[in-house]
Chain A
Amino acid sequence: MHRTGALFGQFKTLEQQKDTATLGMWIFLVTEVMFFGGIMLAYTINRHTYFHAFAMGSNTLSLLLGGGNTVVLLFSSFTMAMAVWSAQTSRKGLITLFLSLTILLGFVFFGVKYVEYAQKFHHHLVPGKNFDISYCVNNPSKCEDIDAADMAKEREELEVAAKADPDLNAHAQLYYSAYFGMTGLHALHMVIGAGLLFWLLRESVAGRFNAEWNNPVDIVGLYWHFVDIVWIYLFPLLYLIDRHK
């Protein structure tokens, strides 16, 4: 195994190696754009056709948790960029600090996601046999985490939506398929990112990164920023469909 920073055999200069690796990561990110693009297409078509169901589904999501997660990820992008800067300016202690903060913020994101997903399971909002968009409205005692005011709004919304769309439940299930599909895929990419960050942390603690050699930090940074960009789009698309009612 080569040590980070050593020149691999097929390259002539370290500069060529860095350049190659960076181009490789950018091209990989383009494949990710197309990958998420496919599910975005599915979302777009279904949202347009079943607007009421999608709006209903969106309003059952917690704006506080979603918005909070957005802020958390944006900050993690900031700390990641700062980690790259620290490496570029050979501030070894700061590299470790900023990488740790990025990982920490990532785990905060996971924690919030876990709370959200657990809530969905509890409220029968997972696609499958038990999916029921009207579960909480019909069984308020089982959904204690929704307060009375929100419950009243949800009941009203459900009535209006059910009149507009006789097959609301099936279509709302499409919304939740999109929700779990898109956030699940995003979370999977974040887990991979966290793994990469742990590897970077280990290398930075061993003092491997400095102004001359910081390519891995740069590259993992590109990946992490991309995952942030995906969430930047997911947040309004999933959480803010029809809030103004």
Chain B
Amino acid sequence: MPEKHYLNATYGIRSWLLTTDHKRIALLYLASVTFFFFVGGFFAMMIRLHLLTPNGYLLTPDLYNRMFTMHGVTMVFFFLIPSIPAILGNFLIPIMIGAKDLAFPKINLLSWYIYVVGGLFTLWSMVNGGLDTGWTFYTPLSTVYSNSAVAPAVVGVFITGFSSILTGLNFLVTVHTMRAPGMTWFRLPLFVWAHYATSIVMILGTPVIAITLALAAMERLFGLGFFNPAMGGDPILFQHLFWFYSHPAVYIMILPAMGVISELIPTFARKRLFGYHFVAAASLAIAVIGFLVWTHHMFLTGQSTYAAVAFSFLTFIVAIPSAIKTFNWTATLFGGSISFDTPMLYAFGFLGLFMIGGLTGLFLGALGVDINIHDTYFVVAHFHYIMVGGAVMGYLGGLHFWWPKITGRMYPEWLARIAAFILFIGFNFTFFPQFILGIMGMPRRYHMYPPEFQIYNVMSTAGASILAIGYLLPMVYLTWAAFYGKVAGDNPWPATGLEWKTQSPPLTENFDVTPVVTWEAYDFHNRPDLQLDVPSGKGSPVVAPAHGDD
């Protein structure tokens, strides 16, 4: 272990709570995001336990509504949206571009405090009245008729939105102005491109949900009326404003995970990424086109048929850049020298599960089919495949991959591989039956169901208990490894990228001397210092000698 690093540079609780070091802030986020993950997981457990029986003996209908609402709000706003950007993004982006810190370190710290305050506020409202409107807060239930603590919960989410906005702003400016000499745009790791695209979405989308929630809160508290039909208002207006953000929000959740995968696959195939430029462009395309599809959540609201057709078409278009990325990752594997370390297992899991989740999105985007499967468990399975099978796998893969860099110590590899398998199996048992339930017609957000659906619900709950073990294991062994794991060294994998040229854990200022970059990303073919068994040029399609900067 190096003598001096960011973890032992200063001691004491104040040095952590008042830090401006992006790496320490990332760890602050890790602690709070993990906390909210388990809060959301608790609500999920309640849902699945309740659904073991068709008649719902465990919870009252009202309490059930509260469970799925609070599960959704916690997981979306307090786990998925911050997870990769605020933890891995914060930790890695400055190092990956050769900078000492982000552009605005104090704003970074402020971001964390805003997140904590918003989160605690919402949590408080969950125990003081709860929330039963669904995480989508549709009006006029949320603004007029609900008997739950809608106003404080909505204010809590509003506050947390600013954390997202400030993080996105920080990332955008950092990538523009803080890159080291020689780090041109097309030498950036794709993890950085992914976060740049994510930040665009955060900046342009989050303010809209901010104003929407502000209006909803004012409607609830002061009886405004924009969304209340009894006063001439329009609930569909709320849905337009809500989904204008919440659809791009799902891209905030998946783009960073895709960025992680773009780092994992070249490393564990020992090969440069196939089609770097296309993957970078696809990230931006997803961010932009993702803003043009939101009405596909509203196909059954009585909206204009012409608008529905246009949005359905755009929904199909937005799948294309994701497909381009998936093909490019697969092409990277082809002819590579593949090793099955834990991060790679998560990457493989991502590839398969994201593909299923993404393709089922096309089913939902087709107008005629959606009439039958809207608001059924098909939708629930679809988004869990992407968010859990995709984003959470990416998150865990990234955590494992960079854990040696963050802590200087390695996690136990065999235990981690077992945990990854348990997670994969548990996940599929939980959510695949839900596709079947959806096709069979089981609606979502219902506290009871016809008895013929019970077998699949029981399967799903059983899977969820296995999934839970898959989540608990990493929590335990990663924490153990941080203190007692084998010392990792600078570059245990080995991988390319500036972060692997620094010590593990890094110095507070990341680099002794500002690096000057003269090489392209994922240059495995050009790194004799890594002593890899890189596939030779013969017979395999891709290893080209390094060319000048793009």
Contacts and interface: CB of A to CB of B under 8 A. Distances in A.
Interface of A: 9-10, 12, 16, 19-20, 23-24, 27-28, 30-39, 41-42, 45-46, 49-50, 127-129, 167, 170-171, 173-174, 177-178, 181
A17 to B, nearest CB: 9
B215 A42 contact: yes
Nearest to A36: B211
Interface stretch (B8-16, B230-238, B335-343): B230-238
B173 A20 contact: yes
A127 B221 CA distance: 11
Interface in B98-136: 99-105
A35 B210 contact: yes
30 contacts: A10-B94, A10-B101, A10-B103, A19-B177, A20-B178, A23-B173, A24-B103, A27-B169, A27-B173, A31-B165, A31-B204, A34-B207, A35-B210, A37-B208, A38-B210, A38-B211, A41-B240, A42-B215, A42-B241, A45-B237, A127-B222, A127-B224, A128-B222, A129-B223, A170-B231, A171-B232, A173-B224, A173-B225, A173-B231, A174-B226
Contacts of B223: 127-129
A31 B161 CA distance: 12
Nearest to B170: A24
Contacts, number: 109
Contacts of A12: 514
Given A37-B208, A174-B226, 4 more contacts: A10-B99, A31-B169, A46-B233, A171-B232
Given A20-B178, A27-B172, A174-B232, A9 B103 contact: no
B176 interface: yes
B434 interface: no
Contact of A30 (B204, B212, B234, B514): B204
Given A9-B101, A30-B203, A34-B207, A16 B177 contact: yes
A181 B165 contact: no
Contact of B102 (A10, A33, A36, A178): A10
B499 to A, nearest CB: 17
A170 B225 contact: yes
Contact of B176 (A23, A28, A34): A23
B226 A46 contact: yes
A84 B207 CA distance: 29
Contacts of B206: 31
A139 B101 CA distance: 65
B218 interface: yes
A9 B100 contact: yes
B176 A174 contact: no
- Residue with the highest number of chain A CB atoms closer than 10 Å, among B206, B224, B241: B224
A42 B237 contact: yes
Interface string B155-182: 0000000000100010011001110000
Contacts of B233: 46, 174
A174 B229 CA distance: 11
A181 B178 CA distance: 39
B: interface residue count bin? 35 or more
Nearest to A31: B207
Given A20-B173, A39-B215, A45-B234, A34 B241 contact: no
Contacts of A9: 100-101, 509
B232 A50 contact: yes
A30 to B, nearest CB: 6
A32 B215 CA distance: 16
Contacts of A46: 226, 232-233
Contacts of A41: 237, 240-241
B173 A38 contact: no
B453 to A, nearest CB: 40
A45 B237 CA distance: 8
Contacts of A45: 234, 237
A127 B224 CA distance: 6
B176 A170 contact: no
Contacts of B215: 38-39, 42, 181
Contacts of B237: 41-42, 45
Nearest to B102: A10
Contacts of B176: 23
Contact of B225 (A16, A31, A174): A174
Contacts of A173: 224-225, 231
Given A31-B207, A127-B224, A20 B103 contact: yes
B207 A32 contact: yes
A167 B232 contact: yes
Given A10-B101, A10-B102, A181-B218, A34 B204 contact: yes
Contacts of A16: 177-178
Nearest to B227: A42
A127 B207 contact: no
A153 B234 CA distance: 31
Nearest to A10: B101
